[in-house]
Amino acid sequence: MISKTSCLILCLAAYACVTWQVAAAEPSYTRLDLPDLQKPAQIRVDRWGVAHIYASSDDDVFFVQGFNVARDRLFQLDLLHRKGLGRLAAVFGPSYVEQDRASRLFLFRGDMRQEWNSYGKAAQRNVARFVAGINAYIAWVERNPQALPYEFRTLGYQPDAWLPEDVVRIRTTGLGRNVKSEVARAKVACKASLGVDAVRLKLQPAWTTALPDGLDPCLPDDVLKVYELATQSPRLAPGTTLAQTPAALLTSGEEALAEGSNNWVIAPDKSATGHAVLADDPHRAYTVPSLRYFVHLNSPGMNIIGAGEPAAPGVAIGHNTHSAFGLTIFNIDQEDLYVYRLNPRDPSQYWYNGAWVSMTTQREQIAVRGGQTQPVTLQFTRHGPVIYSDASTHRAYAVRSVWSQPGTSPYMGSLRYQSAASYPQFKRALAHWGAPSVNQLYAGTQGTIGWVTAGMTPRRAQWDGLLPVPGDGRYEWKGFLSSDALPSAHNAAQGFITTSNEMNLPSGYPAAERKIGFEWANGARHARITQVLSRLSKVTIEDSQALQNDQVSLPAQRLVALLAPLQSQDAATVAALALLKQWDGTVAATSPAAALEEVWFSRYLGDAYKSLVLTPAQASTFGAPDTDVLLEALEHPGSAFGPNPSAARDQLLLHSLQAAYRALAQLQGEDSSQWQWGTLHRNAITHPLSAAAGADRALLDIGPFAKGGSPYTPNQSSYDAKDFRQTIGPSARLIIDLGNWDNSRAVNYPGQSGDPNSPHYRDLAPMWLNGQYFPLLYTRAAVDAATEQVFELVPVPHNGKPPIHR
């Protein structure tokens, strides 16, 4: 196999390039002649795979950013592009027609002028230059076929060129939420009651919901099939693009909220450096390559470094010369499922405001590799795309989402704030942020720290957004809240601000009036981070590193406290109690106690609690109970436990613990001293092409690695209890020192490059696994000293050929 670096030394007629190698200790140099580049530019790749881009204008810096990310991530870009636009079947065959149709339903179809204006005056130009850079690399590869990445050669197709509008029209890469929870809640209400649903997910602030007038909560089992297809990543093997089965929706409410993050910002007075420090670690589903890409952008008016979405220009998490910024998800409810009564005589009409209204219908053609072009019909109501329609029951279902509004292309709002020089500028920029909804933290070189929540927030006058609603006109969004209606704060008295997707609406906030959202991630990560930072009089950079890798579970500590007074005559239970009573709640990969507690908690304790307080029919309507609901019930047992609540609670704990101990002995042997949580809990990333790669799977896949942590540790490690495999966690970490930019540090798992033959494809995996970081270098001298590869980019006249759009 020929690596891209090797291919770049080949000379081409259209893109003449010259490469020379200097002394071994010096970086390699490659010259590339590029049409569309205005003036000479340079990419300096450091030894950790981070590209530092130096250009003479913003136009060129965004052009080179696009060229560079295509150099490292071309297959990832193409897969995002084809998936988002609904063009998978054109290269992968007829199995993908259904997913293509689903993706097309959720494309932005509104006013493009409003869309571009939402991101600032220069946004359209910046995106156009970014896309021109991507297309320049695609054109270079066409003229240098040996450089075509492994995946394209294996699958036998060429990457497609981009249009600028493609970047902003694709919405399904954003982290929307609530529609799946609405459906899960409706199914519990259908088969049990909304009171039972309060065991599935705790609403915060305290809230009691009710069925909207006119709603039948008994929905079709596959009502979300199209939505799932639109929002899930493609799996490149025949017959594997089916959406999740209905059973997969019977998950815990917390699992649906697992994709989040941690961030904190330390004020100068509390920082050991005497300057502000900002830390951020986005928690996402693990992919190879990562969903984040680190890059450094330099022009006369720009000097920005950090992590962003590979398919978008700019940087979303990072810093400029004055400010640092980092985000987590702030759980605004930005979606609703609408239920329609259809006209029995014409199923393309729905009842709205006392009359039959026709759906908007669009007919499109989907190209299919190895087959005939397939016609598809897309239908839309006034609220959004129709995801399910049943003429026999005269019902249809559509999703209303902020995705259909101008200005909600995921993370594109970063173009407004990435150059902010002060907290007021930063806050003003975020007034235009659309999606996903976020907690943004800010730190400035002058010492200001701040928290700003941002995201397009629907006004729901007479309902709370927690259940589907009839689409007959009674449940309409009344516009959107202004940015001033969302919470913010700066220069906190405690010397730090931290968020972890928890319910963080301030005391006294009018939550019942504004109905921002009532579904939040478990607060354990936030509580642990707050606990650690509060105990430190001065916070060092190393403290932030340790905290990002912290594996202490406060819920586990609460469980252990419940066991303290308990005794048993059963040998297995006695051994289990002895193991856990001496444990401090650190969910380390090597810990026997952590293995027992996680097996107990994830497989046995929740089911035992449900069996005690619910009927079998009620218990079958959802998966694990809400962690806080469970722990609060165990700590303060009430009448649901029977006439002697404390005794019943104790028996529940002992019996479920006994079952877990015996099960773990079956899994790891009778000698509990040899048990290890990491033997069960593994991190392994499967490449999208893995199932079709045959003998090359080892080249593509990452891991498996023994992993510590749990969903409730700052070093989050969510997993599927069926096999304990890690599903979500910190894919990247970043710590920014505002007193010494070169002392900032980061890691991106498993590496910066998406090329399996690149040394930067998996080189950061050991670093990430061991809680280590590389320096995120910023000054030119530091960058030059760490450079291993230089690309000299030279402008040449355009050959007049347009980019190829297949």
The residues pairing with 365 across neighbouring beta strands, listed in sequence order, are 375
Which long-range contacts (C-beta less than 8 Å, at least 24 apart) are formed by 96-101? 96/234, 96/241, 97/366, 97/368, 97/374, 97/376, 98/229, 98/241, 99/229, 99/230, 99/234, 99/241, 100/366, 100/376, 101/226, 101/366, 101/376, 101/378
Which long-range contacts (C-beta less than 8 Å, at least 24 apart) are formed by 366-369? 366/86, 366/87, 366/89, 366/90, 366/97, 366/100, 366/101, 367/87, 367/89, 367/90, 368/89, 368/90, 368/93, 368/94, 368/97, 369/89, 369/90, 369/91, 369/92, 369/93, 369/157
Per the document, the length of the chain is: 806
Q: In 54-84, which positions are buried (b, 16+ CB within 10 angstroms) versus exposed (e)?
A: bbebbbbbbbbbbbbbbbbbbbbbbbbbbbb
d(CA 383, CA 360): 11
Q: Which of 530, 527, 535, 534 is nearest to 556 (CA)?
A: 527
| Strands 496-499 and 488-490, sheet pairing | unpaired
Q: Which of 39, 127, 46 is nearest to 296 (CA)?
A: 46
d(CA 175, CA 309): 13
Residue 733 has which token pair?
Answer: 């970490």
φ and ψ at 415, to 5 degrees? -60, -25
R_g over Cα of the chain: 27
Catalytic residue among 103, 261, 409, 656: 261
Placement of tokens 């799946």 in the chain: 180
Residue 470 has which token pair?
Answer: 């009839």
- Known binding-site residues equal 182, 333, 336
- Known binding-site residues for Ca(2+) equal 182, 333, 336
- Quote the crossing angle between the two packed helices 645-668 and 606-613, to the nearest 10°: 140
Question: Is 261 in the active site?
Answer: yes
* DSSP states along 95-114: GGHHHHHHHHHTS--S-HHH
| Strands 386-390 and 774-775, sheet pairing | unpaired
Q: Dihedral sign for Cα 548, 549, 550, 553, please.
A: positive
d(CA 555, CA 522): 10
The C-alpha angle 377, 381, 384, rounded to 5 degrees, equals 90
* Residues forming the active site: 261
